[in-house]
Amino acid sequence: MEILSGFVCAEVLATAIAAPVAVHAQATDNWKPVWTAMNELHQPAGYRQRIYLGSPIMPEGLNDHKAVFPESHNVYIPPQVLDAFKKTGEYPESSIFVKELQLTVSSTEFPDGSRTEVSGRGYFPGVFNGMDVMVKDSKPRNGGPF
């Protein structure tokens, strides 16, 4: 089974853990994560229908061609997680954030890697490059904190 790796994002979830993500999605109406018997996280089904928080972009041309993550990060959360955060100021246990990684279209049109499209000059989304899934989970898995 192909696995995508997740990582802790302390700015988003202070007590999050990282977990491998199984590429094969499991259909569920539940907003909580679904784990396999091997402690692998199923890719959340229908994540693009969740609340879209935004897409920070870190293009190579604006980072001296040394960007750590030269891509767009499309971030989604379930409505229940946002509702709980608005009420309490904290993310509930099992909160799940999906960060879809998308490369930017490369261009040699300008030295900074930007390009011109009908809408103007900028950086434009390219192909899917992976996914990070962050889950708030206070229980250690696989014998360690992550």
Provide the residue ranges of all domains of the chain, joining segments of one domain with +: 3-136
More confident residue, 92 or 6: 92
In the block, tokens 């007590």 appear at 15
Beta bridge partners of 99: 75, 132
Strand ranges (E), 1-136: 3-4, 16-17, 21-26, 41-44, 51-54, 71-77, 96-104, 115-117, 120-122, 125-136
Q: What is the pLDDT of residue 1?
A: 28
SS3 82: helix
Mean pLDDT of 44-52: 89
Secondary-structure class of domain 3-136 per CATH: alpha beta
Q: How many beta carbons lie within 10 A of that of residue 85, not counting itself?
A: 14
* Cα 36 from chain centre: 20
Mean pLDDT of 72-81: 92
When the pLDDT of each residue in the chain is averaged and rounded to a whole number, the result is 76
Q: How confident is the model at residue 7 (pLDDT cuts 50, 70, 90)?
A: very low
Whole-structure pTM value: 0.69
53 neighbors 66 (Cβ within 8 angstroms)? no
Q: How confident is the model at residue 83 (pLDDT cuts 50, 70, 90)?
A: very high
